[in-house]
Structure 1
Amino acid sequence: MQHNLQETRSYCTSEPRLSETETPPQRRKLSQRRPQQHPQRKSNAFLDVPTMNMHHLRVSDDEDLDRLRTFSASKGGIINRGDSFRRRRSRSNSLAPVSPIHPRIGALAGCTDMDMQEGVNSHPPVDVYHVEMLGAAGSGKQSLVSQFRTSDCINAYDGPECDENEQNISIILNNIESELKFRINQREAKDELEKADAFLVVYSCVDKESFTRAKNILAHLQDMDLIRTRPIILVANKIDLARSRAVSAQDGKCVACTYGAKFIEVSVGINHNCDELLAGTLTQIRLKKEQNRIQGNRDTSPSPAHWYKSRSVMMASMKARQMLTWLLGKEDSKFKNCENLQVL
């Protein structure tokens, strides 16, 4: 009778029954507290993968690497295809024959030193163009060139500026590679300006004095007869400072159209339109070179003296067009083409 009562209690109890193979909770907690030390077995069946030295692969600090900007032009505008890196060119305008970044990279790719040397020798030549950066001090010329070097926003207003007066930027535009040498000119001597293939006249839209300086530079270039055969782009920088704007976009367009230049508004601080300006500069150089080749030595443009005399007339004409545009609410074709860097 007592044996049956114990069996009934065991069946009616709400506590879970532990099987013989299960561990009680008290022992389970104690076993978890004890650190289990397993002997580490090091297998020699596989080769250890070497750790890549990231400091060695930092392309920004590697003096032997160049950044290659890639763009494509379409009806919708400029498309940034990204940046790539390669070995820096030698003075003979070819890739420098050096070893790969990491020895395993070349081995995995199956490239030998002979293959690399053949690739270096077969690299086609690249057209090199010189671009003069002109404008008042503090307009952001150096910061703009620094932003040209990368697709990332570098916040050039706060970043350190480069002390080099000339910086080279390699660009692939529509599958054709070129190299632009940007030079920040302070002297504006004729012998130096005549070597340029294009001019970027930069002013700050929050500084009227820099805008006046830009107009004087355009007049100076026109007096030296450097406008007819070279593209000129008037660049309004710092448009992100909208509350402090002192020069309107219409005033910039009016001045640009007066001198037959292109016009664009950019902001280095937020990386706005910087890629469009970089690719547009190369496009303007190529289009102008082709136009000069077709025209040859034919002088179909008016003389500098004629331009100097009609400069005030041209300015008045642009002001009249600007007024009509404001009254009719329709943008004039001349002002519209002024901002299109894909056409002459």
Structure 2
Amino acid sequence: MDLFNQWVKLCQNKRLFETTPEKVFKNCRVCSKHFAEKDFIANRRLNRQAYPTKLLPEGKALALSRDCKFIETSSGIQHNVDELLVGILKQIRLREFREKKKSGLKRENHKLHGSKTSLSLNIAREILQKICMNDISKSKSCENLHVL
């Protein structure tokens, strides 16, 4: 029973919380990509004490809580390695672009500082920020590496 509870906790599948261990054992299958090689015995069957350790949802939850990006990779089988490298480069370029844009706005604001145009622009910006109540440049997804 303890091993079953550990499985349910690791998988974070809501259906499993509402099902008996016997029903899960008879009806549910788990993908082999969630297990290390040491967890398998003959004919690719799982060791009876094995529990999922790879590609679990906890990594994604941690990324969301820390407001950072998340991508599963495996250098051994070259899974998502290229996408990760391209994503990192894209993140660097997006941040550089955002910084250049901010510094350009500051210089522009400096030229207009104190003018009626500057006041109007600042008021309009504040109103739009209050209406939108969010930063459009940030992605809500921790998996999309092509946006900040």
More helix by share: 2
Into which bin does the TM-score normalised by the smaller protein fall? 0.3 to 0.5
Question: Greater RCO between the two (CA within 8 Å, min separation 6)?
Answer: 2
TM-score scaled by length of structure 2: 0.40
More strand by share: 1
